[in-house]
Chain A
Amino acid sequence: MSIRGTSDPVTGRSARILIAKPGLDGHDRGVKLIIRALWEAGMEVIYTGMRVTPEAIALAAAQEDVDAVGVSNHSGAHGPLFRELIERLEAEGIGRDDVVLFCGGAIPPEDVDELRSIGYRGVFPPGTSLESIVSFLEEALR
């Protein structure tokens, strides 16, 4: 397995990424691809599974001491769910400078800027390459 600049130079610890699917939809093709791509890029990935609440995701982020949190939704419920996650993370003492937040799924173009403005540094709609998501994280976690 190659480690490409995502491990801490002092401790050698790999970047820890939490991947989660809030909402009730079962479209996990995207998250499964991302999990595999991040793993192949040398990152440690923790996947919550489907149908998890923003509260449970925030709790997992705190307990697992992750460097980044990625969420995916394809049911059109991304707006309220992704907003709530930010509140829940703050309630766990995790601010927007503490973890890299990114998201993907069936996100209409006009929602992309809003999600960026509330704290999602990466917003990845359908058609995004895995390579660009890996590069984004490598850059953001450097």
Chain B
Amino acid sequence: MARAKTDPVSPSGIPLPPWPESPRGERPGVFPFTRGIHETMYRGRLWTMRQYSGFGTAAETNRRFRYLLEQGQTGLSVAFDLPTQIGYDSTAPEAAGEVGKVGVPISTVEDLDELLDGIPLESVSVSMTINASAAVLLAFLIVVARRRGIDPAALRGTLQNDILKEFAARHTQRFPLEPSMRLVLDVIEHSTQRLPKWNPISISGYHVREAGSTAVEEVAITLAHAIAYLEGARARGLDAGAVASRFSFFFNAQMHLFEEVAKFRAARRLWARTVRDRFGVDDPAAAKMRFHTQTAGAALTYQEPENNVVRVTVQALAAILGGTQSLHTNGADEALGLPTEASARVALRTQQILAHETGVADVADPLGGSPLVESLTDAIEERVGALLGEIDRAGGAVRAIEERLIQRWIETSSYRTQQEIESGARTIVGVNRHAGESTPARGEVFRVDPSLECKRVERLRARLGARDMRPVTAALADLRKAASGSANLVEPLVAAAGAGATLGEMMGTLAEVFGEYQGDL
């Protein structure tokens, strides 16, 4: 969203500087980008308001997408149901009861086409929270684009495609760690070479934090994962700068306003130095940490859920003061279930109010130069550096996950936080302090219509039964062969998707070669 270039003034007519001076001399848009990746930040372009949504069926979710775009949302973010995320078709026995529950079910190219019906893929960027099956969803999208006459090179958007944090915290992994890393790198390689506007990965601290880590651990674990991916890409002979410039990141915004703002600043500085000093990339543009932020689901209370509007507002403010590129604000009722349309609207309005009524978008890094925020930024940088050293000594992020070092950090911090809440050392209003009417109002929880799953499964079964299986079988045989070797798997997946293979068939074929994750991490 382009904004007016005239210098803003306060409501009293006081001219506002583009950014406050900092005693350290750091400036927005200049390496190491502590103060933001753009010189003008939100004066030039507001953050993208990107609400994560999906439920029921592709058609149902398409309606919610169009509604959100009509309400002024500027990017899409697809929530897939768990069977899709793990790689099961809606018709699979493993999917029963989960179809359409936490996101939209996508088993075929036709499903994705229906989901994106009427959405201009060249102008609206589409973000997909998909990891184990990210390569398959990318293949579906490429086929949808081609069928619409769009060059895949014009596709804009992001795949989450961050399998390491699945092992560490989020747990939708399907394959063992090593072949999982191969798929991530296949997508990065294909995208770097063929999809210039596509972000092939969103390295996510969000879920690490949700699982209970501290802010410092969130940054350290995220950077350790990013280093592992970039090392993997370099080992394939890819140019580290070209790959790093396609990386995007995803962070959490929790309740402690100043620590959160400092966290975002420290993360940018650390990543910029990592790209330059560890990977020898001289181009500062490749060292810019672009990131999405979501407010903390784990901070939402089940008790007195209306209070959560205030929590979300403060967290969103932290993300904006921290210079995020895009933002998802949670619905106040999300400790109870998926948000109702009304609470999803309030969540979006929260961003719009912050953007257009408060003046926070007028000045880049408005807290930069504050002794408190600068010293917190330095302290986080130092502590993250120490944790990264531990991960390096363990042999890198992959080894640290295999040895459960990262998981133990998260579990220890989660337990400590819980003890603080129970002792009262950490206050949660309405829960352990000023607790009043403790049960939320009934009858106001969003429910996915239970008949949707049944209809969806019947419809998909009929559609799959009507396929000509010869090209599907041939394409899956090619995929199996490619998976047994070392070729990049994106093209064979695109071919299989084009031939009519389902997500479950492709993931099942890969599982025959790779094996299934055994639940041992």
Contact = CB atoms under 8 A, between A and B. Distances in A.
Tell me if B's interface is mostly helix, strand, loop or mixed.
loop
Contact of B439 (A29, A77, A109): A109
B82 A125 contact: no
A49 B415 contact: no
B170 A23 contact: no
A33 interface: yes
B431 A29 contact: no
Interface in B395-437: 411, 414-415, 418, 421-422, 428, 431
A141 interface: no
Nearest to A78: B97
Contact of B171 (A50, A108, A130): A50
B519 interface: yes
A80 B97 contact: yes
B337 A106 contact: yes
Contacts of A129: 421-422
A32 B82 contact: no
Contact of B338 (A76, A125, A131): A76
B298 to A, nearest CB: 7
B5 interface: no
Nearest to B82: A24
B98 A24 contact: yes
Nearest to A127: B302
Contacts of A4: none
B301 A126 contact: yes
A76 B301 CA distance: 17
Interface string A109-139: 1100000000000000111011100000000
Nearest to B172: A26
A75 B101 contact: yes
Contacts, number: 82
**Residue of A28, A50, A77 most packed against chain B (CB within 10 A):** A77
A127 B336 CA distance: 11
Contacts of B298: 29
A29 B210 CA distance: 8
Given A76-B448, A110-B443, A36 B302 contact: no
B418 A26 contact: no
Given A130-B418, A131-B422, A26 B102 contact: no
B36 interface: no
A87 B59 CA distance: 35
Interface in A6-36: 23-26, 28-29, 32-33, 36
Contacts of B428: 127
Contact of B98 (A23, A36, A50, A131): A23
Size band of the interface chain A makes with B? 20 to 34
A36 B415 CA distance: 8
Contacts of B170: 26
Nearest to B336: A108
B440 to A, nearest CB: 5
Contact of A81 (B82, B86, B97, B442): B97
A3 B401 CA distance: 33
Contacts of A109: 336, 439-442, 445
B212 interface: yes
Nearest to B101: A76
B507 to A, nearest CB: 14
Contacts of B338: 76
A96 interface: no
Contacts of B83: 24
B119 to A, nearest CB: 26
**Residue of B85, B94, B414 most packed against chain A (CB within 10 A):** B414
A130 B415 CA distance: 10
A62 to B, nearest CB: 21
Nearest to A113: B442
A81 B101 CA distance: 13
Contact of B211 (A24, A29, A106, A125): A29
Contacts of A50: 171, 519
A49 B448 CA distance: 27
A84 B414 CA distance: 31
Contacts of B211: 28-29
A126 B302 contact: yes
Contacts of A26: 166, 169-172
21 contacts: A25-B82, A26-B169, A29-B210, A33-B415, A75-B101, A76-B101, A76-B338, A76-B448, A77-B97, A108-B336, A109-B439, A109-B441, A109-B442, A110-B443, A110-B445, A125-B302, A126-B335, A127-B302, A127-B431, A129-B422, A130-B418
Pairs of residues from A and B, 5 with the lowest C-beta to C-beta distance, nearest first: A26-B171, A24-B82, A108-B445, A126-B302, A76-B101
Interface of A: 23-26, 28-29, 32-33, 36, 49-51, 75-77, 80-81, 106, 108-110, 125-127, 129-131
